[in-house]
């Protein structure tokens, strides 16, 4: 019995049962493309937060590959972490490359609404698995994939070849897209962006679609946008998606600010009726709206902390909230919660998004309310 094929079939059955996979082309692609070829080695996080390596020699390698979960393949933007993990058993670090959760891959591929002959640009090659799914459905000549990390791209290209797929693979900055093969009927961002890059607007064919997620630690936002006359408009999708950010869009200030929020002396300390989970938990109905009100805020856990690049911070323990810096961020969160309730508790799919060369903003259906995206810092 082909163990990998059997596990692959079970994964597809689960995606069908959860209704994230519907199009027969993608069903067939997920059934046929061998994910394990693209994941000969990856990290699994231990309860203590350290990352240990899993190789093809691991007895549970295939079972772990075919779970509906993210498989992290790089830490700290540096391949040396993998070698260190093999030598020592585990390492610490921040994920910088991965094979995404199959469910969110299915959601985004379905959202692309591809038609025969479409040219697709994938931003963020990663392991190459998603590019293989695209090739299986559309054909090699229709798929271009770009990644900023030459080492990541080199491994992905090799594994694509081993699996029998040959898209155009390009080492470069995904923020700039890839003009030599433009225009594209579809652009798929498999990494999160702080703003829709102008190059994406320029290189999408009229009537073409952009599907991507936003680099918003609170709220995120998976969007499908239609491009016309140099601008993109569309809707935030009901399904949520969380991805590692495009490297040019990382919150480089956040680690230090969140660490400071762990021990800083507060300007104020009080109780609050607003649970931290309502603001930061993706399953909360309020979380998307909270992210609009708390633009640019970064978050961390144990305890829940919020930080803003202007030096404002929050530390939330139980019913007690401590704050510091020039703005009272939790006061703003509470005010946003009251506004959200007054608006009828709108969910993420009730918001639209517009991107032009000069402005980008969310808007709420049937209201004049808009929330602009701020320029990158």
Contacts of 9 (CB under 8 A, 6+ apart): 31
Known catalytic residues are 100
């Amino acid at each position: 019995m082909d163990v990998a094929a059997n596990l692959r079939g079970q994964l597809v059955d689960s995606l069908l049962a959860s209704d994230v996979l519907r199009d027969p082309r993608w069903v067939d692609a997920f059934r046929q493309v061998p994910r394990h070829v693209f994941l000969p080695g990856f990290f699994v996080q231990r309860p203590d937060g350290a990352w240990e390596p899993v190789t093809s020699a691991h007895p549970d390698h295939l079972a772990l590959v075919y779970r509906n979960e993210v498989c992290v393949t790089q830490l700290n933007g540096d391949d040396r972490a993998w070698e260190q993990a093999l030598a020592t058993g585990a390492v610490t670090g921040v994920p910088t490359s991965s094979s995404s959760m199959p469910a969110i891959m299915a959601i985004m591929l379905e959202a692309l609404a591809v038609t025969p002959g479409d040219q697709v640009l994938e931003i963020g090659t990663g392991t190459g698995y998603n590019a293989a799914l695209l090739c299986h459905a559309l054909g090699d000549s229709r798929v271009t994939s770009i990644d900023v990390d030459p080492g990541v791209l080199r491994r992905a290209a090799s594994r694509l070849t081993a699996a029998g797929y040959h898209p155009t693979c390009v080492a470069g900055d995904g923020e700039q897209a890839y003009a030599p093969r433009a225009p594209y009927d579809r652009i798929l961002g498999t990494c999160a962006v702080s703003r829709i890059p102008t190059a994406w607007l320029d290189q999408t064919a009229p009537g073409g679609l952009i599907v991507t997620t936003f680099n918003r630690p609170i709220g995120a936002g998976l969007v499908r946008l239609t491009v016309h006359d140099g601008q993109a408009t569309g809707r935030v999708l009901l399904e949520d998606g969380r991805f590692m950010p495009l490297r040019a869009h990382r919150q480089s200030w956040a680690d230090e600010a969140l660490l400071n929020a762990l021990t800083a002396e507060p300007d104020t300390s009080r109780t609050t009726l607003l649970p931290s989970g309502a603001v930061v938990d993706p399953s909360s109905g309020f979380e998307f709206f909270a992210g609009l009100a708390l633009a640019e805020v970064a978050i961390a856990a144990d305890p829940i902390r919020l930080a803003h690049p202007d030096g404002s911070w929050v530390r939330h323990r139980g019913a007690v909230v401590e704050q510091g810096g020039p703005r009272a961020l939790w006061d703003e969160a509470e005010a946003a919660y009251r506004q959200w309730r007054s608006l009828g508790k709108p969910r993420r799919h009730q918001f639209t998004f517009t991107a032009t060369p000069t402005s980008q903003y969310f808007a709420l259906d049937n209201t004049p309310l808009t929330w602009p995206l701020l320029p990158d810092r």
